[in-house]
Amino acid sequence: MDFKEKLLDSHLAFEQDVDLLHPIHKYRKNALKRFEKDGFPNKSDELWKYTSLASIVQKDYHLSPISDSNIELKDIKRYFLNDIDSFKLVFIDGVYSPFLSKTTHDGMDICVLSAAISKSKYKKTIKKYFNKIVPKNDSLSSLNTSYTKEGAYILIPKNVEPEDPIQILHFSTGVQNSIWLQPRNLIITESNSNVQIIERHQSLSEHKVVTNSVTEIYAESNSFIDYYKIQNDLLSSSLIDNTFISQEKDSNVSVHTFSFGGNLTRNNLRFYHKGSNISSTLKGLTILESRQHVDHNTLVNHAKPNCESYQDYKGIFSDSSVGVFNGRIIVEKEAQKTNAFQQNDNILTSDKSKVNTKPQLEIFADDVKCSHGCTVGQLDKQVLFYVYSRGIPEKEARALLTYGFANNVLESVRIPNLNKRIKKLIASKLGVDLGFDL
């Protein structure tokens, strides 16, 4: 039995654990049918031309893994942003851990999707938002929908602004090898609200884990979301991150994706504009080594006038690592005065590393400003000599130039602690300890 068949067959067992009468169950059923028909994407699919899932889906995985109940705060504390008590949603092997989390229902909802599905007071919200922007033709999202059970549920009401960032942390422990996780997050910011969110998927030991995550984000009018994805997982872990963002008028959403780790990572990041005066920012910094593979597949769908989008992805690839960037911008006929910018710059530091970059602009309006560019190059020898000549040795010189190269992405990280943390990650990745606060 191959893994697809297993997924189809195991759904019956999954159904014993969920409320079959809940309205969302029909989404699960329909999604499963779509997945049955579409299967896993393969290389003949234009959107998957440079990233193959074959080596991943040819293996077998546990679908409802055993969760390690012995995980304590000390095991995961170093992945927390700070010691202070900010809101955290911690999942261990796909299971929510109330003991390690800090949630609230006081003035806002920071809790889990399973609770939001089961409690009647959330019925209206779930009905309004759940699975409303997930494309039907995306088979991996369909797969996630069909197995929807747990994940983060965040609702920031009108005019509310949580003081601290909210952390969504998914850990896999390795208590069981070869596991397949499918978290489902739902995030809603009502009008005039403002939130910062950090999401991370992390293995605590070397073991095979694949995460196929779906996050739906609804930014209502004039709300502000600052979202950070930290991808620095072990080489035994792979991640398919599907994030769909719906923006209403005057909203501002920015997503930073830091991809430093993992075996195979695919980021499907899609923005859909539902009103005017929207701003969307997509920034990414990818630093890879060994045989790592990261694929950024973005879409900004400009559907309304006077909106802007800004994309800036930088990548540095060493050893045999591979980077893919496919940035699609659609400007619909109605979206006059759109201002869309896209840039993808890459540095290859070895002969074996590889980058495929493809901007894709589809413009149907006539009064728009769109620009895009991509570069693939190496660290300039003359620039390196200049830096050496000032007494900075090779490793540090390369780190300094990498830092300079990445700085445009780093400087807009608005959470100071996170900014510091990421710079430290970069420094340790490059094996340097520099004289200034990298």
Handedness of CA 254, 112, 213, 176 (dihedral sign): positive
State the amino acid at position 226 in one-letter form: D
CB of 427 to other proteins, least distance (A): 12
CB of 233 to other proteins, least distance (A): 26
CB of 396 to other proteins, least distance (A): 6
In the block, tokens 């090898």 appear at 177
CB of 434 to other proteins, least distance (A): 6
**Helix, strand or coil for residue 398?**
helix
Q: Enter the tokens of residue 344.
A: 């993808």
List the Cα angle 10/16/22 in 5-degree steps. 115
CB of 258 to other proteins, least distance (A): 16
Size of residue set near other proteins by CB under 8 A: 27
User: Smaller CB distance to other proteins: residue 99 or 388?
Assistant: 388
User: Smaller CB distance to other proteins: residue 299 or 399?
Assistant: 399
Order of all β-strands in the sheet with 88-92: 95-96, 88-92, 166-172, 194-203, 224-231, 252-259, 279-288, 308-317, 339-348, 369-377
Only segment of 31-39, 230-238, 276-284, 383-391 that touches other proteins (CB under 8 A): 383-391
Q: Which of 422, 410, 349, 434 lies closest to 384 in space, CA to CA?
A: 349
Among positions 353-382, residues that touch other proteins (CB under 8 A) are 380-382
CB of 73 to other proteins, least distance (A): 34
User: Smaller CB distance to other proteins: residue 314 or 421?
Assistant: 314
Among positions 294-313, residues that touch other proteins (CB under 8 A) are none
Only segment of 59-67, 219-227, 256-264, 429-437 that touches other proteins (CB under 8 A): 429-437
CB of 404 to other proteins, least distance (A): 4
Distances (CA, A) of 54 to 41, 142, 317: 9, 18, 23
User: Smaller CB distance to other proteins: residue 302 or 314?
Assistant: 314
Q: Enter the tokens of residue 78.
A: 């170093």
State the amino acid at position 409 in one-letter form: V
CB of 276 to other proteins, least distance (A): 33
User: Smaller CB distance to other proteins: residue 308 or 345?
Assistant: 345
Among positions 328-347, residues that touch other proteins (CB under 8 A) are none
The correct pick among 8, 234, 361, 434 for binding other proteins (CB under 8 A) is 434
List the Cα angle 56/209/168 in 5-degree steps. 125
User: Smaller CB distance to other proteins: residue 220 or 312?
Assistant: 312
On the 0-12 / 13-18 / 19+ scale of CB atoms within 10 A, 280 is buried
Question: Would you count residue 436 as binding other proteins (CB under 8 A)?
Answer: yes
Q: Enter the tokens of residue 237.
A: 């872990």
The correct pick among 383, 420, 424, 428 for binding other proteins (CB under 8 A) is 383
Cβ within 8 Å of residue 18, ≥6 positions away: 25, 28, 149
CA distance 51 to 41: 10
Cβ within 8 Å of residue 376, ≥6 positions away: 346, 347, 348, 355, 357
**x/- track of binding to other proteins for residues 385-424 (CB under 8 A):** xxxxxxxxxx-xx--xx-xxxxxx----------------
Q: Are 307 and 335 in contact (CB under 8 A)?
A: yes
User: Smaller CB distance to other proteins: residue 111 or 316?
Assistant: 316
CB of 315 to other proteins, least distance (A): 15
CB of 379 to other proteins, least distance (A): 11
List the Cα angle 279/282/283 in 5-degree steps. 135
User: Smaller CB distance to other proteins: residue 107 or 435?
Assistant: 435
User: Smaller CB distance to other proteins: residue 362 or 394?
Assistant: 394
User: Smaller CB distance to other proteins: residue 124 or 390?
Assistant: 390
Q: Enter the tokens of residue 42.
A: 């393969």
- Contact residues for other proteins, defined by CB under 8 A: 380-383, 385-394, 396-397, 400-401, 403-408, 434-436
